[in-house]
Amino acid sequence: MDPRLHATPPPDQVDAALGRWPELAGRRLVALLVTAFGDLFVEVDEGQVWLASPNHIACVPVASSRQELAQLFRDPEWVQRRLMIYVILRLESVGMTRPRDQVWAASPHPALGGDLEEGDYAPMDLDAWHELARGLVQGAL
């Protein structure tokens, strides 16, 4: 996979980010992919694949198995939408880059009026991005 489409944060950042989602509490988790925008694809104990998305402030099942997820990744339209390739290309066109261990965070967050497609972005640590999103849901921000 093109390294621009995913991030490689340290394992403790991934664990902390996953720990912010009550939907995943008490489950055995295997992180599968951290997208460039901080979405986390994770296999849960029964084999389903869930998506913890700070961008949409949602933690939901997206595939019944890794095999089904692989099929989704074979669909170019699904990949374009989910990995927001067009946004990465727009950011690159204006000279923006991010460290590989960080993710792109929308500024302001979409829940506060930010725009995922046309908005501004800044590099941020994965756990900080998930903490911010969960704080919006919990009314902490």
pLDDT at 114: 74
What average pLDDT score do residues 47-53 get?
A: 97
E strands present in the chain: 29-34, 40-44, 49-53, 58-63, 103-107, 120-124
User: What does the chain come to in residues?
Assistant: 141
What average pLDDT score do residues 8-18 get?
A: 97
What average pLDDT score do residues 39-57 get?
A: 95
pLDDT tens for each residue of 66-94: 999 999 999 999 999 999 999 999 999 99
What average pLDDT score do residues 21-32 get?
A: 96
Using CA atoms, how far residue 117 sits from 7, 22, 56, in Å, is 19, 28, 13
Reading the block at residue 18, the tokens are 């996953």
24 contact partners, CB below 8 Å, separation of at least 6: 18, 42, 44, 50, 52, 59
- Give the span between the Cα atoms of 101 and 65, in whole angstroms: 27
Range of the domain at 29: 3-138
The domain tally of the chain equals 1
pLDDT at 139: 64
